[in-house]
Amino acid sequence: MFWKSGRRFLRTTTFRLTLWYLGVFSALSVAVFLVVYVSLALRLQAQTDSELLDKSKEFVTLYREHGIKALQAEFAREAESQGTGHVLFQLLSSSGIPLASSNLSQWKELDITRSKEPSVQESQPSYRTISLRRQRHKIRLLSMPISGGEWIDVGSSLQREELILERYRETFGVALMVMVGCGGLFGFLLARKAMAGVQRVTDTATGIGRNDLGRRVPLTDEGEEINALALAFNAMLERIEILLGEFRQVTDNVAHELRTPITRIRGMAETTLKGNDDLCEYKETVASVIDGCDDLIEMIGTMLEIAKTDSGTVDLDLVLLDLLELVEEAADLFTPMAEDKGIDIRLNKPYRTATVVGDRRRLQRVVSNLLDNAIKYTPHGGVITVSIEIEAGNVKVAIADTGIGINENDLPHIFERFYRCDHSRSTPGSGLGLSLALAIVHAHGGDITVQSSEHGSTFSFFLPASSSPDRS
């Protein structure tokens, strides 16, 4: 169990973030150490070189003013005071022959040869760092030329500088281990806190998987990104909950709407089967069954059309079309039906084309559904007015009737699937026409509204207008 938990932890994002943090933190710490170390080493070397240069100038002045004997005595005194194993001084001729020196018994490995004809570079003071096999510490040696081709060598052991750098390395090593340990713990806590929001989303998703769809991810102050993730996840849950609710409602409605015609069809078939063997009666029953099946097929097709349009999976055949022309064609088509009921259809045209980008066949269905409803619920002698206006970048099509109106309590539900007002239950229809019209208009980026009173109803839909020339 412990082994499985350990392996699972090694695969977590928290562990990987901790490793990344620890790696970056360690790399930056080592980089800072190297910068400080190199800076310190250069500063110590510059200080040593400055001390060697001052000492060599002091010897040159003494040699010029008091001669070689005084210089030899000063070499001996300085070496004795600082330690013959730590410093060396010598005066060389132009051919490299020692003329005076301190005690060099511990510096026998040191190469003091010079070329007989010094180069231009050798006419200037030069510094060298030398490693000797018998010396634990390196030597910093300054060779100072003197007029006449002679040289003064001043050397000093780098024991003090090397000990300082060694202490620095040791101190940093201990500090680095402590910093890496604390940094790893801090990185782990930081990564765990950063992933806490993701864990909450995971817990919520797990709860939803157990049929707790009402759960939501709580918002905290863990950062804008985590809150944005929680808001997006909650919005997705809201959408899923709405879709599931609509799905349940549609399922219930479908079951209810299908039960009645199927029961009716079965009843006709059963009655005919138990009746006399009359061929005419059989034919009438079969014709009724076919009509009932056609109604069911149309209702199922309309439901599929609404579902596809609402989900955005329907393929709209978008073209540039004149909505005025489309409405005129629909009005002409429904005029005979209206005249049979003694209803007058009037059309108010704009002075310019009402051009939109849309699917002609589906927009024809929207206008047809609205006109069909208006004719159904308008009594004999009534008037249906179809108006087309262009306002605020939209084309507005309003279909107003002088019918019975819609009850105020029914208005909020008028576009729901299978919803039918009490007074409309006696008229043919499935209760899907307005739902389909709303879905199609929404798919075109528009909207549809309804206003109603006891004097009639007005359905209006809006579509984004496209640029169009003025009507001549």
What is the rounded CA–CA span in Å between residue 266 and residue 256?
16
Written as six digits, the tokens of 262 are 């199927």
Written as six digits, the tokens of 164 are 């300082």
What is the rounded CA–CA span in Å between residue 390 and residue 465?
8
Residues 6+ apart with CB under 8 A from 427: 376, 377
CA atoms within 13 A on the CB side of 34: 6
Crossing angle of helices 279-311 and 433-443, in 10° steps, is 30
Amino acid at 191: A
pLDDT digits (tens, 9 = 90+) for 229-266: 888 888 888 888 887 877 777 777 777 777 877 888 88
pLDDT at residue number 4: 67
pLDDT digits (tens, 9 = 90+) for 317-337: 899 999 889 999 999 999 999
Residues 6+ apart with CB under 8 A from 330: 364, 367, 368, 371
Written as six digits, the tokens of 134 are 């018998």
Amino acid at 201: V
The 10 Å CB-count burial string (b at 16+, else e) for 240-278 is eeeeeeeeeebeebeeebeeebeeebeebeeebeeeeee
Written as six digits, the tokens of 374 are 């208006």
Tokens 């069909």 locate to 372
318-322 and 355-359 strand pairing: antiparallel
pLDDT at residue number 166: 93
What is the rounded CA–CA span in Å between residue 371 and residue 374?
5
Angle at alpha carbon of residue 213, lines to 209 and 216, rounded to 5°: 105
Residues 6+ apart with CB under 8 A from 135: 106, 109, 157
pLDDT at residue number 120: 46
Residue 303 neighbours by CB distance under 10 Å: 20
Contact 358, 429 (CB under 8 A): no
pLDDT at residue number 458: 94
76-85: list long-range contacts, CB under 8 Å, 24+ apart. 76/102, 76/103, 78/102, 79/103, 85/157
pLDDT at residue number 188: 87
What is the rounded CA–CA span in Å between residue 204 and residue 213?
9
Contact 404, 422 (CB under 8 A): no
pLDDT at residue number 424: 56
Written as six digits, the tokens of 125 are 């003071």
pLDDT at residue number 468: 53
Written as six digits, the tokens of 322 are 């004149």
Weakly modelled stretches of the chain, pLDDT under 50? 115-118, 120, 469-472
383-391 and 344-348 strand pairing: parallel
pLDDT at residue number 472: 39
* DSSP secondary structure string for all residues of 42-87: HHHHHHHHHHHHHHHHHHHHHHHHHHHHHHHHHHHHHHHHH-TTTE
